[in-house]
C-alpha cells in the first residue's frame, strides 16, 4: 500500500482539489468517485447526490472543509490542503467502502491530521475513485483554529501503511529510510503518456544526470556532458558569481505558459545536488583525467572483483563508497553494450540506483580506480572488442551486486536489498545475451581432445568437488580455447587455472566454466613470463618437498608447478 502526501496552496486550493477528485480525471480514469468517510460522518457527497447539481454539492463540500481556514483570514498558513492518495497493489484483494473508510481514519490519525477522539481536529474526507485506491483530503487548520501537529507525517503514514498491510492481508512493501529519490507524480505520468515518452521527464533527467556524473572527471565536464546529451542546464549563480546549484529541463517539456519545466538536481535525487556531485568529483578534479596504462576492461574488472572484499572487511563508509562506484559503473555500461543487451543493462542500472543510497555516508577515495577505468572504457573508440571485456566486467559485477544485497540485508536496508535483488535479475539476463555469442565464437576454436583431457585432468585434481559441473558446462569448450591460447602466449595453463580457481569459489556461479573463461582470459592477456622466468619458477617448485608437480599432465617436467587442492 502506497500513501503519498501532496500539499496545496492558494485561496482556491480546496475547491480545485475537490473539483478534480469528483471530475472525470485527466484521462477519464476516475470511476464512480464517492465519499467513503469524512470528519463528521455526514459531509455532502457530490458522487451520491443524484437529485442535485454536482458542482453545487462540490461547492458545499469545499466550503465546509475550508471554513476553519477562512476563519483565520490573513493568519491562515501558506499551505492549506493536505492531499494523500492511498493505493493498493494490483494483486491485493478488493476492499469494501467500510474497509477503505477505516484505513482513511488510521492514516489521518497517524499523520496528526485527526487524532482518534479529537473533536477539534482538522476537517477531512476520503474519496474512492476505483477498486484499488482512495484520496484523502484535509485542510490544515484545526476546528479550534490551531495548526495540526504533523511533524514527519510522511514517515508516520508509511509506518501505519505497513501495519495496515499486515492487518488486511495486503502486499507488504519494504520499509524505507528516507533516502529514496522522489517518485514522479500521477500528473507527470499522464504528461509523459501524452508526449509519447516511455518515462517521465523526471526519470529521464535523473538517468542522464547520473550518467554525466559517472562519466565526468570535473565539474566542467559534468555540465558539458549534460548539454551533449540533450539536456538544458540552468546554473544557480549567486551575486558573488559562485555557482551553488543547477536545474535541468528536457527540450520540449513546457508548462501551460510555454516555459521549460525545470528540475533542481536535489529534487531528482538527494545525491544529485551540486554539493554532492562536487564531492563525487573531488578525487579527480585536482588533476587532469589520464587513462591508466593497460586494458581498462581488465582494470575495471579487477577493481569490481575487489568490491566483495571491501563490503566484507572494510568500514561502512568505505563500503558505501564502493556501492556508489558500482552504481556509476552500471550507469555507463549500457553505453558500451551491444543493442541486444542494452535494455536489460539500463534496467539493472535504474533499479540498482536505490541500492547506492543509504544513511551511511560514502567514502569515495577507495573507489577511484574503478571510476577511472570505467570512464576510460566509455571514452574508448572501440570498447569491448569481441565482447569478452564486457562479459568479464558483468561477471564480476554479478558477484559484487550479490554481496551488495547481503551487505544491505545485514543492516536491514530493506529497499536497498530489494533493489540489488532486482538488479541481479536484469544483470543475469544481460550476461546471457552478451556471453552467448562470445562463448560460441571461442568454442569454435576449441583445441583438440588431447588438450581438453589435460585441462580436465587438472580440474579433477584441483577442484574435485566442482570438476563435474565445470566439465559438463556448455562453456567448457570456450574455457579450453582460452587455456590453449594462453599456452600459445607463453603462459603455463595449469598455473593460470590454479590462479583463476583461487580467486573466489564457484559455488554460486551459474556457469562455472564461463566464469573461469573470463578469469583465464584476463589473466592470460597479461604479459606472459619469459622462458627463463618460467624455468626458474619450475625448478623452484620441483625442489620444494611435498609438491605434486607430476599432476600437471602434458607440461614438461622442469616446468610443472605444484597442483593446488582446494
Residues 353-368 have pLDDT tens digits of: 999 988 888 888 778 8
Arithmetic mean of pLDDT over the chain: 85
In sequence order, the β-bridge partners of residue 317 are none
Between residues 12 and 31, which one has the greater pLDDT?
12
Burial 363-381 (b: 16+ CB within 10 A, else e): bbebbebbbbbbbbbbebe
Instruction: Tell me the residue length of the chain.
Output: 566
User: Would you say residue 552 has pLDDT above 50?
Assistant: no
- The answer to whether residue 135 scores a pLDDT higher than 50 is yes
- Is beta strand 133-142 parallel, antiparallel or unpaired with respect to 79-87? antiparallel
Q: Is residue 545 pLDDT above 70, yes or no? A: no
Structure-model confidence comparison of residues 177 and 105, the more confident one: 105
pLDDT in tens, 203-215: 999 999 999 999 9
Q: Is the pLDDT of residue 544 over 70?
A: no
Better-scored residue on pLDDT, 89 or 545? 89
Tens of pLDDT along 375-393? 888 876 454 456 788 888 9
Is pLDDT larger for residue 304 or for residue 564?
304
> pTM for the complete prediction?
0.71
173, 165 Cβ separation under 8 angstroms: yes
Residue 385's nearest CA partner among 511, 295, 299 is 295
- The C-alpha atoms of residue 310 and residue 321 are separated, in whole angstroms, by 10
**Residues 247, 50: Cα–Cα separation, whole Å:** 48
SS3 140: strand
In angstroms, the Cα distances linking 88 to 169, 286, 407 are 11, 50, 30
For 411-434, the pLDDT digits (tens) are: 989 889 999 999 999 999 999 898
Given a cut of 50, is residue 559 above it in pLDDT?
A: no
The whole-number pLDDT of residue 283 equals 58
Q: Radius of gyration (Cα) for the chain, nearest Å?
A: 30
pLDDT at 284 over 50: no
Question: For residue 381, what pLDDT is reported?
Answer: 47
DSSP 380: -
- Asked whether the predicted pLDDT for residue 289 surpasses 50, the reply is no
Helix, strand, coil abundance in the chain, percent, nearest 5: 55, 10, 35
CA nearest to 183, candidates 4, 326, 348: 4
**What is the tens place of the pLDDT at every residue in 85-116?**
999 988 899 999 999 999 999 999 999 999 99
Amino acid at each position: 500500500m502506497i500513501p503519498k502526501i501532496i500539499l496545496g496552496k492558494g485561496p482556491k486550493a480546496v475547491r480545485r482539489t475537490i473539483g478534480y477528485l469528483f471530475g472525470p480525471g485527466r484521462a477519464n480514469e476516475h470511476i464512480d468517485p464517492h465519499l467513503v468517510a469524512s470528519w463528521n460522518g455526514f459531509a455532502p457527497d457530490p458522487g451520491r447526490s443524484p437529485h442535485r447539481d454536482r458542482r453545487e454539492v462540490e461547492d458545499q463540500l469545499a466550503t465546509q472543509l475550508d471554513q476553519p481556514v477562512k476563519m483565520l483570514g490573513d493568519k491562515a498558513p501558506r499551505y492549506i490542503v493536505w492531499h494523500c492518495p492511498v493505493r493498493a497493489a494490483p494483486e491485493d484483494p478488493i476492499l469494501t467502502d467500510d474497509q477503505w473508510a477505516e484505513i482513511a481514519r488510521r492514516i489521518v490519525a497517524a499523520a496528526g491530521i485527526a487524532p482518534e477522539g479529537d473533536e477539534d481536529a482538522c476537517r477531512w474526507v476520503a474519496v474512492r475513485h476505483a477498486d484499488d485506491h482512495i484520496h484523502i483530503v484535509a485542510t490544515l487548520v484545526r476546528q479550534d483554529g490551531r495548526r495540526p501537529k504533523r511533524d514527519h507525517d510522511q514517515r508516520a503514514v508509511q509506518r501505519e501503511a505497513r501495519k495496515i498491510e499486515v492487518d488486511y492481508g495486503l502486499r507488504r512493501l519494504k520499509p524505507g529510510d528516507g533516502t529514496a529519490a522522489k517518485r514522479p507524480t500521477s500528473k507527470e505520468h499522464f504528461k509523459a503518456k501524452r508526449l509519447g515518452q516511455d518515462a517521465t521527464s523526471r526519470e529521464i533527467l535523473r538517468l542522464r544526470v547520473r550518467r554525466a556524473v559517472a562519466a565526468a572527471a570535473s565539474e566542467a565536464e559534468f555540465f558539458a556532458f549534460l548539454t551533449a546529451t540533450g539536456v538544458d542546464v540552468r546554473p544557480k549563480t549567486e551575486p558573488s558569481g559562485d555557482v551553488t546549484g543547477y536545474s535541468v529541463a528536457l527540450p520540449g517539456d513546457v508548462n501551460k505558459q510555454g516555459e521549460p519545466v525545470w528540475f533542481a538536481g536535489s529534487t531528482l535525487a538527494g545525491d544529485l545536488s551540486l554539493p554532492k556531485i562536487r564531492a563525487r568529483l573531488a578525487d579527480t578534479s585536482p588533476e587532469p583525467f589520464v587513462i591508466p596504462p593497460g586494458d581498462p576492461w581488465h582494470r575495471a574488472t579487477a577493481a569490481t572483483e575487489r568490491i566483495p572484499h571491501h563490503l566484507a572487511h572494510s568500514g561502512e563508509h568505505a563500503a558505501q563508497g564502493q556501492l556508489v562506484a558500482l552504481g556509476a559503473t552500471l550507469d555507463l555500461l549500457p553505453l558500451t553494450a551491444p543493442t541486444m543487451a542494452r535494455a536489460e543493462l539500463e534496467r539493472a542500472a535504474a533499479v540498482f540506483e536505490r541500492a547506492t543510497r543509504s544513511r551511511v555516508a560514502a567514502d569515495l577515495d577507495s573507489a577511484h580506480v574503478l571510476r577511472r577505468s570505467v570512464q576510460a572504457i566509455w571514452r574508448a573508440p572501440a570498447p569491448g572488442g569481441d565482447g569478452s571485456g564486457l562479459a568479464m566486467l558483468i561477471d564480476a559485477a554479478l558477484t559484487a551486486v550479490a554481496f551488495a544485497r547481503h551487505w544491505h540485508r545485514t543492516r536491514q536496508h530493506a529497499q536497498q536489498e530489494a533493489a540489488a535483488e532486482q538488479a541481479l535479475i536484469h544483470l543475469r539476463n544481460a550476461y546471457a545475451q552478451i556471453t552467448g555469442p562470445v562463448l560460441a565464437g571461442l568454442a569454435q576454436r576449441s583445441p583438440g581432445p588431447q588438450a581438453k583431457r589435460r585441462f580436465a585432468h587438472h580440474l579433477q585434481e584441483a577442484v574435485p568437488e566442482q570438476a563435474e559441473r565445470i566439465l559438463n558446462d556448455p562453456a567448457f569448450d570456450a574455457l579450453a580455447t582460452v587455456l590453449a591460447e594462453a599456452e600459445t602466449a607463453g603462459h603455463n595453463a595449469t598455473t593460470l587455472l590454479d590462479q583463476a580457481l583461487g580467486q573466489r569459489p564457484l559455488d554460486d556461479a551459474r556457469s562455472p566454466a564461463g566464469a573461469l573463461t573470463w578469469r583465464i582470459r584476463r589473466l592470460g592477456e597479461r604479459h606472459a613470463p619469459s622462458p627463463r622466468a618460467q624455468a626458474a619458477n619450475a625448478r623452484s617448485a620441483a625442489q620444494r618437498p611435498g609438491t605434486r608437480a607430476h599432476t600437471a599432465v602434458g607440461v614438461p617436467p622442469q616446468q610443472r608447478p605444484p597442483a593446488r587442492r582446494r
